[in-house]
């Protein structure tokens, strides 16, 4: 894992680089935490292009420095991430690094080289013969890459802060309440020509089966298929020239990774022992999974490391976490993961495996249940896992009458949602938007008058292509449609950011995600809904989530994990009274700070602030953390106040 920064002049390049305002080395220094061990730069002979790279060495510790050049020097590449299955033949390799594979595949296949890459990556390539820059991101968005244009200079980097040394100054985009630049979507690449032409292309997408065609595979074949794909994905991700650990919680996903990894290592060394790392919350009650994780660690014989945290620890490190995440965060989960990554680095590790991506493919989250119940599953073999039709309709009615549960938030179910008719009558587009955006009440009257009220559901739904929306409502089962929407919106922009790359790389930790191996995901997507979320399993259990993964991983996990229902990783939330979160509220949510920002409504902020202190209201707490995030980012990045209204 590494950090990237690059630029490309779109007009006449500036040859006098000594007087350039594009400080590539300064840009790299701002993301030094991503690659503390070495750095490298390339400036094209014509002065048009600059590439920069900071390195965290995992494979080929002595070699593997970047940028990497082709034999004739025409092609230069910088890579952030890890590429697997990379024993490529047919080229003379300068290094033993997996990153060099991107260069040679590009030589062989041009822009189609991305079809041949397996792993988590962001890539920037300069092709001097074409005077063209190519920027690409992995299929699920595990690794970030941002881009923008300033004064006829295109620039791209792993983090927003890297642009400050490239003559960029942040300002608020009130349409989305973020600081531009733009993040390249997952599974896309863009080409930038010397003439200024920019094209963005999707090179991969998720697909799901026709909901009306019965799958001819047997359940046993499907279980074996999942088993083999998971084991192969973990096997590939065990390759490293430095020690490797596993983030372990009390759930099926990380327990499966730890169990399979231990088995694979002991196949060649009977004394092999993997290190596992867990967060434990002191007095955390239901939030604390430390004891369950420790029992799993004992079962597989791993060396167990527990980091115990208090809510004071989380609040005290909120601002540091936000500096690395670079976008509003609405709970303290990210801070816990940030501190865990620092703990792992302190223990001498650079590489871990984590369980992200399993819930998005094996239907793990309870908020998917309603969309599973919307239609009978006609694709499952011989009706496996289906609920009797009358029972299905009754269960759906009960859920629609109750509140909407998204992750750990219990939200009132809205009756008038403008996107329901466009997306299988589902609440999900609206609820995702509502979770991420501040409501119109938080905006001052000038913002509402200028931009109009927020239409959060439409914003989320319009972010996916029209042909996909058509498939989602005519060909795919509703729960598969919701899986697609979540993996293309909330998952890359929240889960893989707050709980992924940004809080891991803050401490120079490379995290590998076996459940986001694209051959595994393509296989899992091809399965009928009812073998993943089993409406009624052979033992009579209803809505048994990740059923097929449990069966496939049964040899590697404890009975406790096998029988446990989904419990997402959560940090403790606020409580009434004098809690640590009140320190953040009193420090940041003041009339002076809110008014200086230029677009928030102080009266609303003041009211919600008092509600949290008095009641500990969960949704008010989440909304106010968004406000606090904006106020902190405004100061950390010296963002200009909004004055045009």
CATH code for the domain in which residue 366 is found = 3.40.50.620
Whether residue 642 lies inside any domain: the answer is no
* CB atoms closer than 10 angstroms to residue 522: 15
**What is the C-alpha separation between 56 and 194, in angstroms, rounded?**
31
Nearest-angstrom CA–CA distance, 231 and 592: 55
- Whether 644 maps to a domain, the answer reads no
> What pLDDT is stored for residue 436 in this prediction?
85
Q: Under a CB-based contact definition with an 8 Å cutoff, are residues 359 and 365 in contact? A: yes
Phi then psi dihedrals of residue 23, to 5 deg:
-90, 85
Give the pairing type, strands 275-281 and 303-309: parallel
Evaluate whether residue 58 is within a structural domain: yes
Phi, psi of 464 (to 5 degrees): -105, 150
Residue ranges making up the domain that contains 477: 206-568
Q: What is the CA radius of gyration of the chain?
A: 24
Q: Are residues 334 and 483 in the same domain?
A: yes
Q: In the chain, which residues have pLDDT < 50? A: none
Token look-up 């590939």 returns: 236
Structure tokens at 454: 């927020």
For residue 499, CA distances in Å to 309, 321, 324 come to 16, 11, 11
Global pTM value: 0.94
Is the residue at 564 inside a domain? yes
579-589 burial code (b ≥16 CB/10 A, e <16)? bbbeebbeebb
Looking at residue 622, what is its pLDDT? 86
Could you tell me the CATH number of the domain that includes residue 194?
Answer: 3.60.20.10
Q: For residue 70, what are its two tokens?
A: 């082709």
User: Among the three residues 137, 172, 202, which one is the final residue of a domain in this structure?
Assistant: 202
The predicted pLDDT at position 180 comes to 72
- What pLDDT score was predicted for residue 88? 60
Is the CB of residue 262 less than 8 Å from the CB of residue 301? yes
CB atoms within 10 A of CB 122: 26
Q: Is the dihedral of CA 93, 98, 103, 106 positive or negative?
A: positive
90 located within any domain: yes
Cα(149)–Cα(22) distance, integer angstroms: 12
Residue 485 and residue 609 share a domain: no
Q: 181 and 211, same structural domain? A: no
Q: How many CB atoms lie within 10 A of CB 558?
A: 16
Catalytic sites, residue numbers: 2
Tokens standing for 472?
A: 């989602």
Same domain for 291 and 175, yes or no, is: no
| Sole residue written with tokens 């403790």 | 572
Does 199 carry a binding-site annotation?
no
Cα–Cα distances in Å, from 242 out to 57, 296, 337? 9, 24, 21
Q: 333 is written with which tokens?
A: 């989960």
Question: Is there a single domain that holds both residue 436 and residue 517?
Answer: yes
pLDDT computed for residue 437 by the predictor: 86
Tell me the C-alpha to C-alpha distance, in Å, between residue 96 and each of 61, 75, 114, 121, 239: 9, 18, 20, 17, 13
Shared domain check, 238 and 98: no
pLDDT score recorded for residue 571: 64
Domain end marker among 185, 202, 219: 202
Local structure of 99: helix, strand or coil: coil
Three-class secondary structure of residue 413 per DSSP: coil
- pLDDT for the residue numbered 578: 53
CA distance 110 to 104: 10
Q: How many domains does the chain have?
A: 3
The answer on 442 and 342 residing in a single domain is yes
Q: Encoding tokens for residue 572?
A: 């403790």
Query: How far apart are the C-alpha atoms of 147 and 549, rounded to whole Å?
Result: 38
In whole angstroms, what is the distance from residue 620 CA to residue 611 CA? 7
Question: 489 and 363, same structural domain?
Answer: yes
Collapsed DSSP state (helix, strand, coil) of residue 439: coil
Residue 499 lies in a domain: yes
CB-CB contact of 124 with 134 (8 Å):
yes
What is the C-alpha separation between 237 and 222, in angstroms, rounded?
Answer: 23
Output the pLDDT for position 577. 52
In degrees rounded to 5, what are phi and psi of residue 150?
Answer: -135, 120
Q: Same domain, yes or no, for 249 and 383?
A: yes
ω before 67 within 30° of 0 (cis)? yes
Tell me whether residue 98 is annotated as binding: yes
From 166, 182, 202, the end of a domain falls on 202
Residue 497: what pLDDT?
94
User: Same domain for 505 and 616?
Assistant: no
Q: What confidence score (pLDDT) does residue 256 get? A: 98
Q: What is the DSSP string of 364-377?
A: -SGGGHHHHHTS--
Q: What is the pLDDT of residue 613?
A: 85
pLDDT at 592: 96
Residue with tokens 């200079």: 153
Determine, yes or no, domain membership for 321: yes
| Residue 641 counted as domain residue | no
Residue 310 shares a structural domain with residue 450: yes
pLDDT at residue number 21: 83
Whether residues 128 and 179 share a domain: the answer is yes
Angle at 457 between CA 455 and CA 460, to 5 degrees: 110
């Amino acid at each position: 894992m590494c950090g990237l920064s690059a630029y490309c002049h779109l007009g006449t390049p500036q040859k006098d680089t000594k007087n350039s305002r594009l400080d590539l080395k300064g840009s790299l220094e701002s993301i030094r935490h991503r690659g503390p061990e070495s750095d490298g730069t390339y400036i094209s002979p014509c002065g048009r292009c600059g590439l920069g790279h900071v390195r965290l060495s995992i494979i080929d510790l002595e070699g593997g420095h970047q940028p990497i050049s082709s034999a004739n020097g025409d092609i230069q590449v910088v890579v952030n991430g890890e590429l697997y299955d990379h024993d490529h033949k047919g080229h003379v390799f300068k290094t033993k690094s997996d990153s060099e594979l991107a260069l040679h595949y590009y030589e062989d296949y041009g822009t189609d080289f991305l079809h041949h890459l397996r792993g988590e990556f962001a890539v920037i390539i300069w092709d001097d013969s074409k005077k063209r820059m190519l920027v690409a991101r992995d299929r699920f968005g595990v690794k970030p890459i941002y881009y923008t244009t300033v004064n006829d200079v295109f620039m791209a980097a792993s983090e927003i802060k890297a642009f400050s040394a490239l003559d960029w100054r942040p300002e608020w985009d009130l349409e989305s309440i973020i600081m531009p630049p733009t993040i390249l979507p997952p599974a896309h690449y863009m080409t930038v020509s010397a003439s200024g032409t920019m094209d963005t292309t999707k090179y991969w997408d998720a697909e799901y089966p026709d909901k009306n065609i019965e799958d001819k595979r047997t359940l046993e074949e499907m279980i074996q298929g999942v088993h083999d794909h998971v084991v192969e994905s973990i096997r590939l991700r065990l390759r490293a020239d430095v020690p490797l650990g596993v983030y372990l919680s009390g759930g099926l996903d990380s327990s499966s990774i730890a169990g399979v990894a231990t088995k694979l290592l002991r196949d060649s060394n009977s004394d092999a022992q993997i290190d596992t790392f867990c967060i434990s919350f002191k007095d955390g009650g239901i939030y604390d999974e430390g004891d369950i994780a420790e029992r799993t660690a004992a079962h597989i014989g791993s060396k167990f490391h527990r980091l115990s945290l208090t809510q004071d620890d989380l609040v005290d490190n909120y601002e540091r976490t936000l500096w690395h995440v670079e976008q509003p965060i609405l709970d303290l989960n990210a801070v816990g993961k940030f501190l865990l990554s620092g703990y792992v680095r302190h223990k001498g590790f650079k590489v871990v495996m984590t369980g992200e991506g399993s819930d998005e493919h094996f239907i793990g989250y309870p908020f998917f249940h309603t969309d599973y119940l919307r239609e009978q599953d006609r694709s499952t073999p011989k009706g496996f896992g289906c609920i009797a039709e009358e029972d299905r309709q009754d269960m759906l009615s009960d859920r629609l009458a109750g509140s909407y549960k998204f992750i750990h938030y219990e939200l009132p179910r809205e009756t008038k949602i403008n996107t329901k008719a466009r997306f299988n009558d589902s609440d999900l587009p609206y609820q995702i938007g509502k979770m991420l955006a501040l409501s119109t009440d938080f905006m001052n009257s000038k913002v509402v008058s200028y931009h109009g009220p927020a239409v959060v559901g439409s914003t989320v739904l319009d972010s996916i292509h029209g042909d996909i929306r058509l498939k989602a409502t005519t060909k795919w089962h509703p729960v598969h449609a919701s899986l697609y929407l979540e993996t293309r919106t909330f998952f890359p922009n929240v889960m893989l950011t707050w709980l992924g790359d940004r809080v891991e790389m803050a401490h120079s930790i490379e995290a590998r995600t076996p459940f986001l191996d694209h051959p595994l995901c393509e296989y899992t997507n091809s399965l009928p809904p009812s073998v993943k979320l089993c409406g009624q399993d052979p033992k009579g259990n209803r809505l048994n989530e990740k059923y097929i993964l449990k069966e496939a991983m049964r040899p590697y996990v404890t009975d406790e994990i096998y029988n446990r229902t989904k419990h997402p990783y959560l940090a403790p939330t606020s409580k009434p009274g004098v809690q640590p979160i009140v320190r953040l509220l009193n420090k940041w949510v003041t009339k002076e700070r809110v008014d200086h920002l230029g677009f928030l409504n102080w009266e609303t902020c003041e009211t919600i602030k008092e509600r949290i202190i008095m009641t500990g209201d969960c949704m008010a707490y989440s909304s106010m953390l968004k406000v606090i995030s904006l106020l902190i980012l405004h100061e950390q990045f010296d963002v200009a106040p909004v004055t045009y209204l």
